[in-house]
Structure 1
Amino acid sequence: MGRPRFSRKHRTYGEWLNAQSRTSRYAKGIIRKHQYSPDKSLKQLRNLKISDYDLSNTVWQNLSSSQKRDRNLSLEILRKMRHGKTLSEATSKLGVNKQFALKHLGTHLEKEGGRWQVTKTDSIQSEMLIYSEDEGVTSIVVTNSRDRSRIGKYFAAVQKALKTGDPSGLEKFKDMKIKDADGNEYRLETSLERLYEIGETIEEPEFLEIYKS
């Protein structure tokens, strides 16, 4: 059985889309919803709640365990696309599809000029480990790509310092503060001696999830 008629006036979504310029806020909403659910009619799309399909704005603590894993995977899609990969290349590499990306990246993924693009920055929450001056190894929920990038660069500098014994690469992170989703601030540990101590307490430092998007 084929798809149902899209609307009273238009047999298919394509006919509706090309019937006139679809630049209004209403039309853009329908287009967005159709990307999530391409099998639904116009009436069904009108009644569709984006929040049921877009998890990008859901706070970290409200996600299920599987949704948290999916979010981390979607952030890897963002990272790859910000480094030049197409959506199809990024999703294929990670074994997911476009609908998965749309569901977890929301409006941070947009189609422009026939090509899918990602925003330069985002405000998607994710959980990351840091080396804190006060708490040592601790897990915090960060709220944007800027902080994910800062933490990623910090860990790259930490790894280099631990391997070479040269702490100069950590200078730029002195007094740097990372704010979590609750507004708490954390200073990144930059003492090489303290970092060696922390490293000895971690059996597998490779497990750290670092996003450089």
Structure 2
Amino acid sequence: MEQEKWNRVVHVISKMRSEGRSLTQVAKDFDIDRRIVLARAGSALQKTKSGRYEAKRSDRLLRVLVIPGSYGLTEVSVRGSATARKLAGYSDAVQRFLRTGDSSQLKKFKNLKLVDENRDPIKLVTNLDELHRLGSAGVLSFESLYARVA
């Protein structure tokens, strides 16, 4: 239950950043009290002169994300919105390739160096044959970038 609540908190911050909506509005969308968001992720927010909270341009919040790996989907723990944004782009590029055969978006991830929360490298699968094999086996189907709760 705590993982699900944390995922909602991180989603609120992300949605505020991408859509410029208020904390109260977005917290309602994700069925979480704005006070919980403030208590758990206040470092990702800043209060404006008018008293409204805005998401900072980036944050260092922990996220557990699901990305394609050599043997199927794998969970990675990352710190920060910048790394999460890059992994979201990678996942989108993989899904686009599997749906359409268009590999053009995958090229920018070929030599990208990312690290997890422990500073260990994250291996991004960009080999088209490997991705095609994994996609054909049905092991790369996922609905959300965020890890599921057990």
Taking structure 1 as the reference length, the TM-score comes to 0.62
Aligned positions of 1:48-59 closer than 5 A? none
Q: Distance in 2 between matches of 1:115 and 1:149?
A: 25
The residue that corresponds to 1:125 in the other structure is 62
User: Which residue, 113, 116, 119 being the options, matches 1:183?
Assistant: 119
Unaligned 5+ runs, structure 1 = 1-65
Q: Whose Rg is larger?
A: 1
Aligned pairs, number: 144
Summarize the Cα distance change of 1:97–1:128 in structure 2 as closer, same or farther, 3 Å threshold.
Answer: same
Structure 2 spans left out of the alignment, 5+ residues: none
Superposition misfits of 4+ residues, deviation over 4 angstroms: none
The amino acid that maps onto 1:129 is V
Distance 1:177 1:137, change over 3 A: farther
In the alignment, which residue of structure 2 is the partner of 1:153?
89
Equivalent AA in structure 2 for residue 77 of structure 1: V
Question: In the TM superposition, what is the alpha-carbon distance from 1:165 to its structure 2 partner?
Answer: 0.9
Tell me how large the CA RMSD over aligned residues is.
1.9
Residues 33-65 of structure 1, C-alpha deviation per residue, up to 9 Å, x if partnerless?
xxxxxxxxxxxxxxxxxxxxxxxxxxxxxxxxx
Give the direction of change, closer, same or farther, for the CA distance of 1:106–1:144 in structure 2 (3 Å limit). same
Q: What is aligned with 2:3? A: 68
- Matched letter for residue 128 of structure 1: L
What's the secondary structure of 2:114's corresponding residue? strand
Match of 1:193 in 2: 129
When the two structures are superposed, what TM-score results if normalisation uses the length of structure 2? Answer: 0.85
Deviations 1:152-182 (A, max 9, x none): 0111111111111121111000011220111
Task: Please give the secondary structure, in 1, of the residue aligned with 2:143.
Answer: helix
Structure (1/2) with the larger strand percentage: 2
